[in-house]
A and B are shown apart, each in its own frame.
Chain A
Amino acid sequence: MMNRFIRRIQRFKGWFGAISAMCIFYGLYLGLLDSPPDYYQGEVVRIMYVHVPLAHTALLAYMTLFIGSLWYLWKRDPLVDNMCQAAAGITVAFTTLALITGAIWAKPTWNTWWTWDPKLVSFAVLLLIVSGYLMLRTFVEDPDKVGRYAAVLAIVGGIDLPIIYFSAEWWRTLHQPLSISMRGVSMTGDILLPLSIMSLGFNLLFIYMLMIRTQMLYLTNLLEAKKGRLLSQIHLSQSTS
C-alpha cells in the first residue's frame, strides 16, 4: 500500500524540485533585497531567512526518520527502510548547515560563536545521534538486521530529544538567566512572508531530496539482489555442466 503510494508520488518529484527552487529564489530575493534591515541587528538579521528554515527542515527530516522507523518496525517494508536511511543523511546535512549558520548569526548578535542554549544543545546532540545512526548502518553486517537495529536507535533518539531539550533548558535557566533574546524582532509581514516562503521552499527541497535518495537506495539494493541471483545462476550452470 505504502509502496504504491510512494511510487505514485515519485512520478511528480520534478514538480517538487521546481516549486522548491522557485520558492527559495523568490524567498531569497524578498529576504535579502526586498525586506527592511532590522532595527537592532541591521543587515545581519538577513541570515535568519536561511537559518530558521534550515533548522525547521532539519527537525522535519528527523520527524520523517522517526515516524518512518516506527512504520518500518510495524510493516517491515524495505522501501520505508530506504526512506529512513535517506532521511537520516538529509538530517545530517540540514542540521550541520543550521548549526553553522546559527554560529555565523550568533557571533555579531550575541558576541559568541557558541553558547549552551537549549536549542543549540539539542541540535548538537541531534547531529551526534543521526551520525551514529548512519555509522551503525554501515557497521551492521547482516542485511536483514540493518533496518531493524537502525529503527530502534532512531526511535530511542526521537524519544530522547524532547527530554534533552528540557534538561538543557533547566540547566541553562539554573546557571545564568537567558542573556539571549530576539530583542525586538517583531514579526511584521515583510519579515514573515519571506520566512514562510523560504520554509516552504526548504521543506519541498527536503521532500525532493528524500524522493531522489530513496529511489537511489532502493535501486541500489535491487541491483545488488539481481547481481546475487545472476551470480548464483552462473555458479549453478557451471557446476551442473
Chain B
Amino acid sequence: MTFFSIIQWVVWKDLISELRSRETLSSMLFFALIVILVFSFSFSMDQDAAQQLIAGIIWVSFAFTGIIGLGKSFTAELQNDAIEYLQMSPAPKGAIYLGKMLGNLLFMLVVEVMLFPLFVLFFNLDIVEEIGILLLIFFLATVGLSAVGTLFSALTVQVRAREVMLPVLLLPLAVPVMIAAVEATRGALNAQPFAIYSQWIELLTVFDIIFTVASFWLFELILDS
C-alpha cells in the first residue's frame, strides 16, 4: 500500500458508503435548501439589499451546510468501532487525513455546485462572465474549510457534545476563509476587475496550504489510540 493508494482507498470507501446510504449528501442538500429559502424570504423583498448581501448569504449557507457534512464524516466511523481500526491500521495517519479531507471536499463541492443555481434563480444573479473564477473561489474556500474541518471533525467525534463542539471550534478559526470568500465572491458577482479582489484569492491559497500541512502533521496526535 503506497501513500497515495491509501488516500484513494479512504476516498473510495467514503464514496461507496455514501452512494449506498445517501445520508450525508441528502441531509446537507435539504438543510441548505431550507437555509436558502429562509434567506430568500428574508431578503428578496428588497432586491438591492439582497444584491449587497448575497455573497455573505452564499457563504453562511455553504459554511453551515459544510459543518453538517464534516460532522458526519467521522461519526460514520463510530459504527462498528471503525475508528479504532483506523487508529490501529499501520497506514500513515496523514494519508488517512488527506483521504478524509478529499472526501469531505468532494461532498461539499457537490452540494455547493448543486445549490448555486438556486441562488442564481432566487436572487436573480448575473454570473455568465465570472463562472470560472467563482468556481475557483468555491474550490479554494472549501479546501480551507475542509482542511481545518476534517481535523476538528476527527477531534470532536471522540468527545462529548460533539455536535456543539465542531462549530464552536471550527467557525472562529474559519474567520479568514469566510472574510476572503465573501469578499472575492462579491468582487466576482459585481463584475469588478480581477486585480481588485485577487488578493483574497491569494489569501485563500495561503490559508489552504498552511492548514493542510499543519493538519496533516497534527492529525496523527488526534487519531492515536
Interface residues, chain A, with chain B CB atoms under 8 Å away: 73, 121, 125, 128-129, 132, 135-136, 139-142, 145, 148-149, 151-153, 155-157, 159-160, 163-164, 166-168, 170-171, 174
Distance in angstroms between the alpha carbons of A142 and B155 in the assembled complex: 12
Q: Shortest CB–CB separation between residue B225 and chain A, in angstroms? A: 10
Residue total for B at the interface (Cβ-Cβ under 8 A):
32
Complex alpha-carbon distance, A129 and B173, angstroms: 7
Q: How far is the CA of A148 from the CA of B220 in the complex (A)?
A: 11
A171 x B172 contact (CB < 8 A): no
Cβ of B180 within 8 Å of any chain A Cβ, yes or no, is: yes
Q: Given A140-B158, A156-B151, does the pair A73, B221 have CB atoms closer than 8 Å?
A: yes
Which residue of chain B has its CB nearest to the CB of A167? B176
Complex: A159 Cα to B147 Cα, angstroms:
14
Say whether B172 contacts A152, CB under 8 Å: no
Point out the residue from B155, B161, B183 that lies within 8 Å of A153, measured CB to CB: B155
* Contact assessment for A149 and B159 in the assembled complex, using a CB-CB cutoff below 8 Å: yes
The A-contacting residues of B in range 174-225, CB under 8 angstroms, are: 175-176, 179-180, 183, 199-200, 203, 206-207, 210-211, 214-215, 218, 221-222, 224
- How many Å from the CB of B59 to the closest CB on chain A? 13
Residue of A nearest to B182 (CB): A171
Q: How close is B100's CB to chain A, nearest CB, in angstroms?
A: 16
Are A152 and B199 neighbours in the complex by a CB distance under 8 Å? no
B123-156 CB mask vs A (1 if < 8 Å, else 0) is 0000000000000000000000000100110010
Interface check B165, CB cutoff 8 A? yes
